[in-house]
């Protein structure tokens, strides 16, 4: 691709307009100012210059042009940023070379789009889709919703989509398999989705990245829903259903309603709740929370009625809180899910959304509804469930309010609740300290593990005593000793079998890690690691001799002091020379 096209796209792009889609910017003299999207701040230090077409944050030092902004913000590669800006500028891109996987991703986007057209046609126009149309009609899903969300139907035929895409559209079977549309077995290919209502899953740019399929008739032998596998363009748990359609409504309303499934979303959308997404599960992932945070900082959860006792759902709440979101919960009342609520009482559903409770009010209410606070057993269960929640509240005013409510409803002094919170915090801090102690590694350990991981791939001769002596930590030494005892021509499996069980995971991790650096760079990296380990070893010797000199001086042992002083000078010179080596 010509460099001039990159510049052409940049010249036809206004960085203020692009950044303004993600950050609320206000005019500040000749520039624009806003809160930095790359770090948390209360006073804006993020500047955008329309004249220079650059951005700069004076808080975290991130800066660059419009390409750099998209790459950093969206966590995408340059070709994707280029395509986004080219589409906005109305410029057709020339072929991109030198970017691994980019062309293949583009082909997957295209074939997914064609597949969604195929499924949509069968649902809306073809006789094969009649049963599916009737099913959707019974669930209150009419033509408008089908068109808006481009619903489709996969017929109960093993090769309907495969034949269409290969024979009519000339796509290669291998591409269809990489896109997750077909499954290959023994040289034959079969459609992944059959006899299912099809829900195209799009990213927030409008690309079709995957599909979810629901059976028309539930059966114990067949999964109700199946989804596309992970592909080059789709990773489970990193996207949400519906955002490609509803993102503008989310931004305009200032908050997003989060439901579990596709029908929860469709019924709610029909009832007038258009600022909505579905997470396809009861717990949000950090990636989903981060994605939603690009469009709003306020989230209203409307999950199934049993979600209050679902630990996975509570973990999702923690994820949202960590992302900085303001979280509320919509009370479903007597209804089992948002789909049923929206279908049977659309006005009541809208009111429930408008009157969503704070997350802490909801958790307190739902916990007291589950257990009897008048019994000793009930008090214990309520305390066990709510104490971690109360301990996690950072705002002291909110915490004091919640503690008072819980203590009054339990009929116990506030001091008792606070004492239990203290115990929970102490237990959590001890766990954290243990985790830190277990995971914290010395520089020596880190370097040894990196070196050993690389050496295991190069199959070196570790009879070299200088290299062997670089390893000082117990686990690394044991693996090197076993390595030396095997001699030449062994396989990783041979070494693994010789190791005690407690070292097997450690060995596997080292071996996999050693493959992360390209072959050309491995030799250079090995040399660098060896050098740093030698430097650490000499520094340890210097510390040891310095300590012995002090002891000799205290004992007035002049001969020992002079001898040790000579060793110290030799080591200091050796260290200096080693540090100067290229």
The domain that contains 62 carries what CATH number? 3.90.580.10
The 3-state DSSP class for residue 428 equals: helix
Of the three residues 356, 383, 408, the one that is the final residue of a domain is 356
- Extended strands (E) in 338-465: 357-358
Q: What is the mean pLDDT of residues 491-502?
A: 67
Q: How far apart are CA 100 and CA 96, in angstroms?
A: 10
Kindly give, in sequence order, each residue whose CB lies less than 8 Å from that of residue 63, ignoring residues fewer than 6 positions away: 54, 55, 56, 57
Could you tell me if residue 364 is inside a domain? no
Of the three residues 26, 56, 89, the one that is the final residue of a domain is 89
Widest CA span in the chain: 104
Please report, for the domain that includes residue 187, its CATH number. Answer: 3.90.980.10
Q: Percent of the chain at pLDDT above 90? A: 36
Q: How far is CA 207 from the centre of its chain?
A: 20
Q: What is the mean pLDDT of residues 450-479?
A: 75
Task: Indicate the pLDDT class of residue 349, thresholds 50, 70 and 90.
Answer: very high
Beta bridge mates, 259 = 278
Residue 412 has pLDDT above 60, yes or no: yes
Residues 434, 448, single domain; the answer is no
Residues 332, 402, single domain; the answer is no
Q: Are 337 and 305 in contact (CB under 8 A)?
A: yes
- Of 283, 242, 276, nearest to 258 by C-alpha is 276
Residue 429 has pLDDT above 60, yes or no: no
Q: How far apart are CA 49 and CA 15, in angstroms?
A: 8
Q: What is the mean pLDDT of residues 170-178?
A: 95
Helix, strand, coil percentages for the chain (3-state, nearest 5): 55, 10, 30
Region of 421 (left: φ > 0; alpha: ψ -120 to 50; beta: rest) is: alpha
Residues 286, 391, single domain; the answer is no
Beta bridge mates, 183 = 190
Q: How far apart are CA 366 and CA 56, in angstroms?
A: 46
Could you tell me if residue 478 is inside a domain? yes
Predicted pLDDT of residue 29: 73
Predicted pLDDT of residue 259: 93
Given the DSSP bridges, would you call strands 298-301 and 326-329 parallel, antiparallel or unpaired? Answer: parallel
Of the three residues 89, 113, 130, the one that is the final residue of a domain is 89
Q: Which domain holds residue 188?
A: 102-227
Could you tell me if residue 237 is inside a domain? no
Instruction: Give the other-Cβ count within 10 Å of 231's Cβ.
Output: 18
Could you tell me if residue 96 is inside a domain? no
Please tell me the least confidently modeled range out of 25-34, 88-97, 400-409: 88-97
Torsion angle of the four alpha carbons 247, 250, 256, 260, in this order, in degrees rounded to the nearest 10:
-30
Buried b (16+ CB within 10 A) or exposed e, 164-197: bbbeeeebebebbbbbbbbeeeeeebebbbbbbb
Buried b (16+ CB within 10 A) or exposed e, 111-131: bbbbbbebbbebbbeeebbee
Q: What is the mean pLDDT of residues 54-73?
A: 86
Predicted pLDDT of residue 432: 47
Q: How far apart are CA 130 and CA 43, in angstroms?
A: 58
Q: How far apart are CA 389 and CA 315, in angstroms?
A: 11
Residues 454, 574, single domain; the answer is yes
Beta bridge mates, 57 = 46
Mean pLDDT of the chain: 84
The 3-state DSSP class for residue 296 equals: coil
Predicted pLDDT of residue 113: 96
Q: What is the mean pLDDT of residues 298-314?
A: 69
Residues 201, 292, single domain; the answer is no
Please tell me the least confidently modeled range out of 327-341, 428-442, 504-518: 428-442
Residues 432, 454, single domain; the answer is no
Q: What distances in angstroms separate CA 120 from CA 125, 261, 426, 437, 518, one per listed residue?
A: 8, 20, 56, 55, 45
Q: How far apart are CA 489 and CA 461, in angstroms?
A: 11
Instruction: Give the other-Cβ count within 10 Å of 241's Cβ.
Output: 26
Name the strands in the sheet holding 208-215, side by side, starting at the edge strand that comes first in the sequence: 152-154, 196-202, 208-215, 225-227
- Residue 47: phi and psi, rounded to 5, are -120, 145
Task: Indicate the pLDDT class of residue 436, thresholds 50, 70 and 90.
Answer: very low
Helix 501-513 to helix 443-458 angle (10° resolution) is 80
Could you tell me if residue 97 is inside a domain? no
Residues 202, 186, single domain; the answer is yes
DSSP secondary structure string for all residues of 94-131: PPP-S-TTHHHHHHHHHHHHHHHHHHHHHHHTSGGGHH
What is the radius of gyration, based on Cα positions, of the chain? 31
Could you tell me if residue 159 is inside a domain? yes
Could you tell me if residue 336 is inside a domain? yes
Half-sphere exposure of 513 (CA within 13 A, CB side): 16
Residues 539, 477, single domain; the answer is yes
Q: Which of 296-305, 317-326, 344-353, 455-464 has the highest mean pLDDT?
A: 344-353
User: How many structural domains is the chain composed of?
Assistant: 5
Q: What is the mean pLDDT of residues 513-530?
A: 68
Q: What is the mean pLDDT of residues 11-40?
A: 87
Residue 120 has pLDDT above 70, yes or no: yes
Could you tell me if residue 366 is inside a domain? no
Q: How far apart are CA 294 and CA 195, in angstroms?
A: 36
The 3-state DSSP class for residue 171 equals: coil
Q: What is the mean pLDDT of residues 59-68?
A: 86
Q: Are 427 and 388 in contact (CB under 8 A)?
A: no
Residues 62, 176, single domain; the answer is no
Residues 199, 142, single domain; the answer is yes
- Of 90, 120, 93, 89, nearest to 106 by C-alpha is 93
Residues 417, 404, single domain; the answer is yes
Predicted pLDDT of residue 286: 87
Residues 397, 470, single domain; the answer is no
The 3-state DSSP class for residue 453 equals: helix
Predicted pLDDT of residue 434: 44
Residue 378 has pLDDT above 70, yes or no: yes
Residue 204 has pLDDT above 90, yes or no: no
Q: What is the mean pLDDT of residues 496-506?
A: 68
């Amino acid at each position: 691709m010509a460099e001039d096209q990159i510049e052409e796209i940049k010249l036809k792009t206004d960085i203020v307009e692009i950044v303004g889609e993600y950050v609320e910017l206000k005019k500040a003299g000749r520039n624009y100012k806003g809160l930095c999207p790359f770090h948390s701040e209360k006073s804006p230090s993020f500047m955008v210059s329309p004249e220079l077409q650059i951005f700069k944050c004076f808080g975290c030092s991130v800066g660059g042009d419009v390409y750099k902004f998209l790459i950093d913000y969206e966590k995408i590669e340059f070709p994707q940023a280029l395509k986004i800006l080219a589409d906005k500028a109305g410029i057709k891109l020339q072929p991109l070379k030198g970017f691994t996987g980019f062309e293949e991703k583009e082909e997957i986007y295209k074939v997914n789009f064609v597949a969604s057209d195929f499924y949509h046609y069968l649902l809306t126009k073809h006789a094969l889709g009649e049963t599916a149309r009737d099913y959707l009609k019974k669930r209150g899903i009419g033509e408008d919703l089908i068109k808006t969300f481009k619903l489709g139907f996969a017929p109960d035929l093993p090769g309907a989509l495969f034949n269409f895409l290969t024979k009519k559209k000339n796509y290669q079977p291998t591409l269809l398999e990489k896109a997750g549309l077909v499954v290959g077995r023994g040289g034959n290919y079969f459609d992944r989705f059959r006899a299912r209502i099809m829900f195209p899953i799009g990213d927030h740019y409008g690309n079709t990245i995957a599909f979810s399929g629901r059976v028309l008739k539930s059966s114990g032998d067949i999964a109700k829903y199946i989804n596309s596998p992970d592909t080059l363009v789709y990773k489970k748990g990193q996207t949400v259903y519906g955002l490609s359609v509803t993102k503008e409504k989310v931004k305009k309303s200032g908050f997003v309603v989060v439901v579990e499934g596709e029908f929860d979303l469709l019924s709610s959308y029909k009832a007038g709740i258009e600022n909505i997404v579905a997470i396809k599960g009861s717990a949000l992932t950090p990636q989903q929370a981060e994605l939603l945070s690009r469009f709003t900082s306020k989230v209203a959860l409307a999950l199934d009625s049993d979600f209050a006792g679902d630990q996975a759902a509570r973990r999702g709440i923690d994820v949202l809180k960590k992302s900085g979101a303001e979280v509320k919960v919509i009370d479903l009342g007597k209804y089992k899910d948002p789909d049923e609520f929206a279908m049977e009482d659309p006005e009541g559903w809208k009111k429930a959304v408008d009157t969503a409770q704070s997350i802490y009010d909801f958790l307190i209410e739902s916990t007291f509804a589950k257990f009897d606070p008048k019994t000793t057993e009930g008090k214990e269960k309520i305390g066990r469930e709510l104490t971690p929640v109360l301990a996690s509240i950072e705002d002291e005013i909110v915490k004091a309010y919640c503690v008072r409510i819980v203590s009054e409803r339990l009929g116990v002094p506030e001091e008792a609740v606070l004492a239990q919170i203290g115990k929970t915090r102490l237990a959590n801090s001890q766990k954290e300290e243990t985790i830190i102690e277990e995971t914290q590694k010395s520089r020596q350990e880190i370097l040894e593990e990196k070196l050993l991981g690389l050496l295991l791939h190069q199959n070196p001769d570790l009879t070299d005593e200088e290299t062997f002596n670089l390893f000082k930590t117990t686990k690394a030494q044991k693996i090197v000793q076993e390595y030396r005892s095997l001699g030449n021509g062994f396989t990783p499996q041979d070494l693994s079998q010789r190791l005690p069980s407690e070292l097997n995971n450690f060995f596997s991790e080292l071996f996999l890690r050693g493959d992360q650096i390209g072959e050309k760079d491995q030799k250079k990296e090995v040399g660098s690691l060896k050098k740093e380990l030698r430097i650490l070893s000499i520094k340890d010797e210097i510390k040891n001799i310095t300590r012995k000199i002090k002891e000799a001086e205290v004992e007035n042992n002049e001969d020992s002091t002079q001898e040790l002083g000579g060793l110290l000078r030799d080591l200091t010179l050796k260290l200096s020379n080693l540090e100067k080596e290229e």
